[in-house]
Structure 1
Amino acid sequence: MAEAEDVKFKVTIDGIPVEVAPGTTILNAARQIGGDIVPPAMCYYSKLEGSGGKCRTCLVKVSKGSEKDPRPMPKLVASCRTTVMDGMEVQNITSPEVVDARKGVVEILLINHPLDCPICDQAGECKLQDLGYEHGSADTRYEFDRRTFEQIDLGDKIQLHMNRCILCYRCVYVANQLTDQRVHGILGRGDHSEISTYIENIIDNDFSGNVIDVCPVGALTDKTFRFKNRVWFTKPVDAHRDCPTCSGKVTLWYKGEEVIRVTARKDEFGEVEEFICNTCRFDQKKTSDWILDEPTEIDSQSVISANHYELFNPPKVVKENPILQQQNREQLARTEKLK
């Protein structure tokens, strides 16, 4: 049994080798390496069972299947759903095909998405905004009417902007896992699909606020924080309290001396470390309610701390290959401009 647990598969991603346990997905193997080679993920969430495989932003190229069968996979694969094999070789940002496909995926995600970043509370923390900035085009080829929905209040604390939703299903999965009575889900089919509740029921349970934290865009927003401030003008501080319902470990977002927002703590991939209850999120907004730990660790290049996006740091193989430089020219040009 001990020998089976020690088995490791060696996989190479963008020329960087890593050893992982059997059953590990390509995405999670890349996360063990870290840096720019980690594929973006708009729908996958490691803590939500069943998530992934919907947005296609994490597509990668498997140039070598395994040591036993070195044939490449015929199509790009979703790295969040594809498990590694021993000897597998994967290309992400070093593949012109992947970069081009990701641009196409971003274009599709933006077809119905409103360009309202200047008034969206998710701006600065939005994964789609980051992808659009890195891979999007300045104009659109879409000539038809965009689908539109009315804003819906899902209770007194959460508002749904369906126009911004990319149907990642994260909010549905988090409700399934944290509550016994989920009242919202996907209604309709095809381009008529939408997140909604049955006969506009309100979402009312102790952990309903977590749908805000897992949403990768500005579709689900905190009504108590709406239009109060931009995240890059706030100061995030980790804090905790003795809470009988959840772990009580949160991030407090300060504007001066005032706590204007409380969220769950997130890791380097933007995923919640531990889900928190609504009492901690909405009702405890005084410094005296909390024991302060330390300032939240924010990447020095983050828009929150530096007011611009993280610089693109291409691996050596991109720097030395003119074809790959051409495919990544937009990111390279942006990096030079921001230096």
Structure 2
Amino acid sequence: MNASKKLTDGALLTAIYIVLLLIALFVPLIELVATFLLPIPFIIFAFRYDWKSSLLMFVATLFLSAIFGTIFSLPITILMGLGGIMLGGAMHSGLSAYEVWARGTIGFVGGLLLIFVFSQLLFQVNWIEEINLMLSQSMQTSQDLMNQLGLGNQTEEQLELIEEQMMSITELIPVGIAFIAIIMAFISQWFSYKIINRLENKNLHFPPFRTLKLPVSLIWIYFFALIFTFFELDPSSTLYLGVNNILMLVGMLLTIQGFSFIFFYAHHKNMSKLLPVGSIILTILFPFLLLYLVRLIGIIDMGFGMRERITQGKK
């Protein structure tokens, strides 16, 4: 009976995925919503039967995607399948919401990397060259506009500096992939919690943001990477690219930890929610002034156990 139910659920959820895929590919206006819902069938199946049983459903959806969709359906299904199975499998194991989020992020990173390789091998698309070409065209358009306005000589040096900075964007592709995976995992997990709570009568939810505590090991990773920046590294070397990407990614996580502490402190002191929300808005508006301050708050919180000290001090 259990095997029969598993087969029925797999067939139903596979059909739902194919319908969502076709909507995402061919139906305007609601295609964005359908895209965010694509991992949900995998998440539900993996949540019910674990990730091992989900592999058969994954293979079936790949086969059907190639038949009913286009050649672009395969990389989309790989991405959504890997991310969804990792999320659902982690939920099946009873992990915490943030651990589920981390597992899902790994799944989406793997899917994005496979798409990156898939597009280069099959379509001969070199993403680095394409991005550089796009940036060069954008800078040329800006230069032409400045020349028409008679500002070419005054802004030439500034444009050259901006062009150098923009061209370094390709060096941060790994961070970009990780950031996209983090966002996709969060949105998919949030949607799946809502749906599973309805279907399975569960109470899955993210804990309050103020309770977020990242591993202390991130501080050491950040500082070791920071030490390498004091040496003159070859900009074309793998070490240079690795250090820059680690600093960017871990720095972003430490900033999130800093915001979490601000939310915790405001709640602990019974302050208005306007303070933590305002801190995020101001940091977005003035990143050069506040971003590193918030990151420092995150480092102090993790390294010195500020929450425990504040809580014990109140007692």
Name the TM-score, length of structure 1 as normaliser: 0.24
Report the structure, 1 or 2, having the larger strand content: 1
The higher radius of gyration belongs to: 2
Report the structure, 1 or 2, having the larger helix content: 2
